[in-house]
Each structure stands twice: as C-alpha cells, then as structure tokens.
Structure 1
Amino acid sequence: MLTKKQLDLLTFIHKRMQRDGVPPSFDEMKEALNLRSKSGIHRLITALEERGFIRRLAHRARAIEIVKLPESLSGNAGFTPKVINGGRPETTPRDAMPIEPVHAMELPVMGQIAAGVPIEAISHTSRHIAVPGSMLSSQGNHYALEVKGDSMINAGINDGDVVIIRETNTAQNGDIVVALVEDQEATLKTFRRKGNSIALEAANPVYETRVLPDHMVKVQGRLVGLIRSY
C-alpha cells in the first residue's frame, strides 16, 4: 500500500524513465511534487525502496531502477482474486473438551503505520480485527494498525504485525507511540522528550533517531498490545 505522495513520485519516475530512459534528478522530483526540500524526496525514495518498488544502485548517479509497479500503474487494477471457501465439520468430535470463552472486541484496523520511514497519516478503516479484551484498558478508545518496515524489530515488532493502540495525546519517555510529524506523516517509534525537542527513536541500529521541535510532533496513541500471524 502506497501513500498518495509515494504513488505520485513512483508515477513521475516511471513516466520520465519511459520518456528519457533515465530517472529524473532529485531537484526535478522535488519540483514535480511541489516539496520544499530534497529531504522529503529522500524519505519518499527510501520508503519506495523499503516496499520493494524501486532499487537504488550503488556508486552511480541517478541510479534508480523500478522493480515493480502497483496495479494502478501496471494495468491490472481490474484483477479480482478467486476465493475458495473451506469447509468445516458440522458436528463436534465426541471427545472434544469445552473451553472457557475468551472475551474479545473488534477493533478497526486504520491502515498501515511505518516502522521505518514515516508514511502519510491514514485515518480510514481498512478492516476489523478481533482483539482479546485483556489487551484493552477500560479508559480511552483503541484502534489497530498494520506495521510496515523493520525499524522496531529489536523491540519485538516485526513487519506485518498488527499493533493495538490506545488513543492518547501524551506519552512518557520510553513509551512506544504513534507520532504524527508535521501533521502529515505517521510513524511508530519510541518517544523521548529532550527539553523543547522530541526524539523519535528506532529499535534498529540501521535507522537514525529523529529529533524534532516539540511543536512538529503530535502523539496520536500509545502501544498497548501486538498481534502476530504465522
């Protein structure tokens, strides 16, 4: 899943490579997307690379290779997968033992959150997921997000995990939070306040800590649980 900015950049690179045979420069990308700095382009390029859409080749200028395209660009937008309904026994085995019912609640999965380069904030419900009631506190609302990226892997949060978030606009140092950066980008990071600045720390040495003025960061929620599928 790509954000609008990521899709716009991938589309621009694809069209320019089809026309000229070489990718555009960072300055051309910045102008095409109406961004104020090249750092925004760098973040988008890194996000596209993390998601497997492009590859950067070392030691070569403008060395960007498109690996794949989303369905909206590749012409397969009308593809509909076939669904096979699996059956299940209609009777209970004779020696089956009853189990205690587990209280669960359905939470909306509000799109994806980047554990890596921040992605644009997503506020629409993509699906629902059943969550054990023991994960949820009695105070505040909760929602779920699917994790993209590996920047929190050393905190036990892997790509593809679903994190359970309690809505709050405050956090303590060391909390893992959903942080909204400049009202545009959302990311999952460890929160640290340092005077009038906020550090968003990754749990992977590959990623640098981002330190931002506190007015540029808004806490959207705190991690309270995690669900993993195998």
Structure 2
Amino acid sequence: MLTKKQLDLLEFISKRVARDGVPPSFDEMKEALDLRSKSGIHRLITALEERGFIRRLAHRARAIEIVKLPDTLAAKQPGFTPKVIDGDLPDLPPPANAMAVENVHALELPLMGRIAAGVPIESINDVPPSVAVPGAMLSGNGKHYALEVKGDSMIEAGINDGDVVVIRETSSADNGDIVVAQVEGYEATLKRYKRKGESIILEAANPAYEPRILPVGAVKVQGRLVGLIRTY
C-alpha cells in the first residue's frame, strides 16, 4: 500500500519519463509535490524503491527506472514500459541502407554527431554512422536521429557525458521539453526549453550552468528528446 505522496511522486515520475524519456530532477519532484526540501523526496524515493516500484540505476546522476506501477496508475497508462534503456553501440557498422520492418525490435538511426550539454558546439557531421535503437523508444510520427552528448550540463535530468540521445525532428516545443536548440543559426545545444513572452530560456540541469535567455528569433528548435542510450 502506497501513501498518497508516494503515489503522487510515482505518477509524476512515470508521466515525465513517458514524455521526455528521462526522469525529472529532484528539484522538479520537490516543486511538483509542494515539499519544502529535497530530503522529503529522498525519503519517498527510498520508500518506492524498497517496495519494488522503482530502481535507482548505478553510475547515473539521479537516474530512476520505473519497474512497475500499481493497478490504479497502470490503468491510466496501458502498455506501460520503462523508457530509459541501457544499451550499447553495435560492434560493427550496420548497413547504410538498413530499414525498419514490422516486428523488428531494433531500428537503425543515423548518429548525426555530437550535441553539447554545456557550451554549444556544431552538432551535425557530413556522413553519419548508424546506431541501433530499440523501436519502443521512438515516439510519434516523423523522422528520428541520434546524437552523442558532450558535456555535463544535463546531469540532473539523467543525461551524462557520452550518452546517446534519441531525437524526434520537430520545430516546436512546449515549456519544459528537452530539445535540440540551434542558437543564432549555427551552434546547437541540448537544453530544457521555456518561452516567456518574446524570449526563449534554455535551461541546464546542472546548477553550475546559468540559463541562457535569448530573443525568439535567435533560437530554432530542431528536435525533442524522446529516449536515451548509455554505453558502459
């Protein structure tokens, strides 16, 4: 039996993983549950882990995998499966013309280069290799591609240096989405997106990095995060 706060936290984490492909930060959990300190979140997380609903993943910054949902939540989310998937790059390069077919679990996506989670860098290579991605990780219609993360500005969102992020191409984003943002026409970065009036705020998930506030015309959304693969 879960308390109301434990159930609320589990539901919040589940919805954010389904939406972003990564768990929320402890600060976001604290705000969502209207708690005064992160120590209360630590206690709730520990209780959920002890009851077998979540698992904290080793060597990852505040990364959480949902193992199961109680019946009351599972009924709201039919077909639930965890979205954060441990994986590895293929040993050999896949064929350049590899295509997804029905009932194939792994799809080949172009690894388009590196995306900065820190200081923006150029993100696209001319001739991308491919990376194997679980088909269940892809969400919605449209093209998808993969990028290798360089930097540590998103560690509190569970995104580490060297991770491969799966991106769905889109030119729009909602407040709170983690996006690939092209800044001033040439540099790209992976950040949490917020719009306030005629300004765009690109927020890091690391207190060492200040938010960047830019005019709307200086930022172009190129895609939204839908999944994450980690190589150990």
Scaled by the length of structure 1, the TM-score of the pair is 0.55
Q: Over alpha carbons, which structure has the higher Rg?
A: 1
Name which of 181, 185, 188 aligns with 1:186: 188
Contact 1:169 1:221 in 2 (8 A): yes
**Structure 1, 116-125 or 182-191: larger mean CA deviation:** 116-125
Tell me, what secondary structure is at the counterpart of 1:119? coil
Q: CA deviation at 1:120?
A: 2.2
Aligned to 1:133: 135
**Structure 1, 120-129 or 164-173: larger mean CA deviation:** 120-129
Tell me, what secondary structure is at the counterpart of 1:208? coil
Name the amino acid aligned to 1:119.
I
Aligned to 1:166: 168
Structure 2 gaps, min length 5: 1-90, 92-102
Scaled by the length of structure 2, the TM-score of the pair is 0.54
Contact 1:169 1:219 in 2 (8 A): yes
Q: For residues 141 and 154 of structure 2, what CA distance do their matches in structure 1 show?
A: 26
Tell me, what secondary structure is at the counterpart of 1:154? helix
Q: CA deviation at 1:125?
A: 3.8
Aligned to 2:206: 204
Tell me, what secondary structure is at the counterpart of 2:119? coil
Tell me, what secondary structure is at the counterpart of 1:178? strand
Which 4+ stretches in 1 moved above 6 angstroms? none
Number of aligned residue pairs: give it. 131
Name which of 112, 119, 125 aligns with 1:117: 119
Tell me, what secondary structure is at the counterpart of 2:136? helix
Q: For residues 133 and 178 of structure 1, what CA distance do their matches in structure 2 show?
A: 21
Percent identity for Structure 1 against Structure 2: 72
Aligned to 1:46: none
Q: For residues 140 and 178 of structure 1, what CA distance do their matches in structure 2 show?
A: 15
**Higher RCO (CA 8 Å, separation ≥ 6 residues):** 2
Question: In structure 2, do the counterparts of structure 1 residues 102 and 121 end up closer, same or farther at CA, with 3 Å as the change threshold?
Answer: closer
Aligned to 1:103: 105
Structure 1 gaps, min length 5: 1-84, 86-100
Q: CA deviation at 1:138?
A: 4.3
Name which of 222, 225, 229 aligns with 1:220: 222
Q: For residues 199 and 104 of structure 2, what CA distance do their matches in structure 1 show?
A: 43
Q: CA deviation at 1:122?
A: 1.8
**Deviation per CA, 1:188-225, whole angstroms, max 9, x where unpaired?**
00000010000000000000100000000000000000
Q: For residues 147 and 138 of structure 1, what CA distance do their matches in structure 2 show?
A: 22
Q: CA deviation at 1:168?
A: 0.1
Q: CA deviation at 1:127?
A: 1.4
